[in-house]
Structures are given as structure tokens and as C-alpha cells.
């Protein structure tokens, strides 16, 4: 345990709560080290299989798969693609690997978050404290706050909070609505994360805003009046709020581009009115999309 980590623990006990869970301590450690706090479960079968792999043989077997050249590429495939490949004819080693990767992804699928226990649960209040305490922010690196595979309990409320760093949640689950109204953040990413709505009206993001790669919202995502210094990426994002606004992005300013394609889906209205640096005039687009 480094001196900086010990000091961060002491600060959290003094200013947040005297007793910290192992889940909370793991996040503090990741922040200090500039790493992702990864709560995903590693399959024992997968670990054992990797130890037994003949990498040269596997490399030959992977040549037949599109866009896959190495093991990391295979692990980056989504569950749907893995299931599709499992049904095809492949050498035994590759079939075993496909099955093991698919099983691990199923365990960590946000859709199965009801089965995630306390070891994967973070309190929204703890995240709020980390993002608002001036002394806590001194322990952050330029990698900000990055969480993978956690369930966030309670309502995350960062209304009008100034957090000048990265705020990344990958394949996480938020059980209550997220409030980012009027917040100022360096960059925001909800990559493959499931939420029950986001109120980010008038948010200011210096970099990019990602709601993509399997992002799902069962409730309105409000970006009205937002200012985005980079792009808004909703590729492969799913927005659901039937008969109402699924994505409400009225009167926003985007310095780069807005991507609503390649698997983007919405059930409900999608309203986008954006002033973009690439166009001299305001462009208004209205969509009514159904699954």
C-alpha cells in the first residue's frame, strides 16, 4: 500500500465514512494509480483455458475470422457476435475459446445485474463525494474516474458540479436516474452501460460525450442546452421511452459531429436541434423511431 493510497484512505474515512468497503477502497486505489476500477468477474474456465492455449495454433485458426487477428480482438467482440461464431464450424481450440469468452461476457452483461452482489456495488453517494471534495480531487491523475462492471446504487446527482477530469463508466448499471444538469466535465463516457434515464440539461463537456457500444437507457436522456467540445457518439446506443422523448437534445452546441447510426435504436421521440461548428446555420432534425 503506497503512502498516497494510505493518505487517500485516511481522507475518505475522515470526510466520507469511517468504515470503507473493499469495493470503495478498490476505486480509491484505481484513482491513485490512474487505472480503471474493474469489478467484472473473471471466469476460472477462461483463466485456465488461456494458460493452456497454443498461441501459434490459435493465430492460424483466427485467420478465418473477419477483423480478428489476435486474442484481444476476439475478446472485444460483443456477445451477439460470439454466439453467432459459436454456431459455425471451427477447430476445437477456437470453439472452446469462443464458448469461454461468451460465458464470461454473459456473467458480466449489465442485463444480468440483479445477480451482482455487494462486491460489485458502489454507492452513488461515494462517487458524488469523490467528484465534489476539493481535497479528494488532489489524488486524481489525468485519467480521472473510470469504473467497469459495477452496479451503482442510489441516485448519482452531480448537478452543477465542476469535475475537470474524465468520468467513464463501462458496462455498469445505474439503478436510478443520473443527474448531470449544468455539470462541467472534461469528458463523459457511458460505454455499454445501462441507465434508467439521464438529465444532462445544460451540461458542458470539454471533450466527447459517449452514449454508445451497447449503452441502454430505459427513460429519457435529456441533453437540452448542452455544450459539447468534441462529438456526441450514440453509435450502437439504445434509447427507450415509449410515446415520449427518448433522446431530447434541443438547442445544443457541438464542436464536432453527432453520430446516431450503426445500430443506434430509439423507442420514442428523438429530437435534435444542434448548432455545429461544421455548419454555419442551425440544423434541426426530428425523428420518431420505433424498435
Using N-to-C axis directions, what is the helix angle for 79-86 and 92-107, rounded to 10°? 150
Using CA atoms, how far residue 225 sits from 187, 247, 248, 275, in Å, is: 17, 13, 10, 10
Report pLDDT for 285.
54
Q: Is-contact 5 30, C-beta < 8 A?
A: no
pLDDT value of position 280: 52
State the angle between helix axes of 124-132 and 22-33 in degrees (0 to 180), rounded to the nearest 10. Answer: 30
**Cα gap 161→232, rounded to integer Å:** 20
The tens-digit pLDDT sequence of the chain (291 residues) is 689 999 999 999 999 999 999 999 999 999 999 999 999 998 888 888 878 878 788 778 877 777 787 778 788 877 778 878 777 878 888 888 888 888 888 999 999 999 999 999 999 999 999 999 999 999 999 999 999 999 999 999 999 999 999 999 999 999 999 999 999 999 999 999 999 999 999 999 999 999 999 999 999 999 999 999 999 999 999 999 999 999 999 999 999 989 998 899 999 999 998 877 665 555 545 454 544
> Could you give the C-alpha distances from 155 to 7, 165, 180, 197, in angstroms and in order?
28, 21, 11, 11
Q: Does the model's pTM come out above 0.95?
A: no
Beta strands 194-195 and 162-170, pairing class: unpaired
pLDDT at 290: 47
**Coil, helix or strand at residue 104:** helix
DSSP state at residue 203: -
What does the domain layout of the chain look like in residue ranges?
A: 44-107, 119-289
Amino acid at each position: 500500500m503506497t503512502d498516497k493510497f494510505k493518505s487517500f484512505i485516511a481522507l475518505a474515512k475522515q470526510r466520507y465514512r469511517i468504515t470503507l468497503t473493499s469495493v470503495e477502497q478498490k476505486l480509491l486505489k484505481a484513482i491513485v494509480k490512474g487505472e480503471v476500477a474493474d469489478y467484472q468477474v473473471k471466469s476460472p474456465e477462461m483463466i485456465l483455458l488461456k494458460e493452456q492455449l497454443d498461441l501459434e495454433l490459435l493465430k492460424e485458426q483466427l485467420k478465418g475470422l473477419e477483423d480478428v487477428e489476435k486474442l484481444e480482438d476476439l475478446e472485444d467482440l460483443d456477445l451477439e457476435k460470439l454466439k453467432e461464431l459459436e454456431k459455425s464450424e471451427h477447430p476445437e481450440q477456437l470453439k472452446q475459446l469462443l464458448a469461454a469468452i461468451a460465458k464470461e461476457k454473459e456473467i458480466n452483461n449489465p442485463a444480468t445485474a440483479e445477480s451482482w452482489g455487494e462486491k460489485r456495488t458502489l454507492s452513488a453517494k461515494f462517487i458524488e463525494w469523490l467528484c465534489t471534495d476539493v481535497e479528494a480531487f488532489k489524488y486524481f491523475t489525468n485519467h480521472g474516474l473510470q469504473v467497469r462492471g459495477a452496479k451503482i446504487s442510489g441516485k448519482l446527482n452531480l448537478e452543477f458540479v465542476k469535475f475537470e477530469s474524465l468520468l467513464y463508466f463501462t458496462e455498469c448499471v445505474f439503478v436510478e436516474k443520473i443527474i448531470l444538469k449544468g455539470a462541467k466535465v472534461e469528458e463523459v463516457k457511458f460505454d455499454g452501460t445501462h441507465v434508467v434515464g439521464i438529465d444532462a440539461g445544460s451540461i458542458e463537456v470539454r471533450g466527447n460525450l459517449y452514449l454508445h457500444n451497447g449503452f441502454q437507457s430505459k427513460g429519457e436522456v435529456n441533453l437540452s442546452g448542452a455544450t459539447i467540445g468534441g462529438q456526441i457518439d450514440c453509435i450502437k446506443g439504445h434509447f427507450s421511452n415509449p410515446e415520449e422523448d427518448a433522446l431530447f437534445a434541443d438547442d445544443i452546441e457541438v464542436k464536432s459531429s453527432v453520430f446516431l447510426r450503426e445500430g443506434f435504436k430509439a423507442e420514442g421521440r428523438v429530437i435534435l436541434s444542434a448548432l455545429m461548428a461544421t455548419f454555419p446555420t442551425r440544423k434541426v432534425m426530428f425523428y420518431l423511431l420505433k424498435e
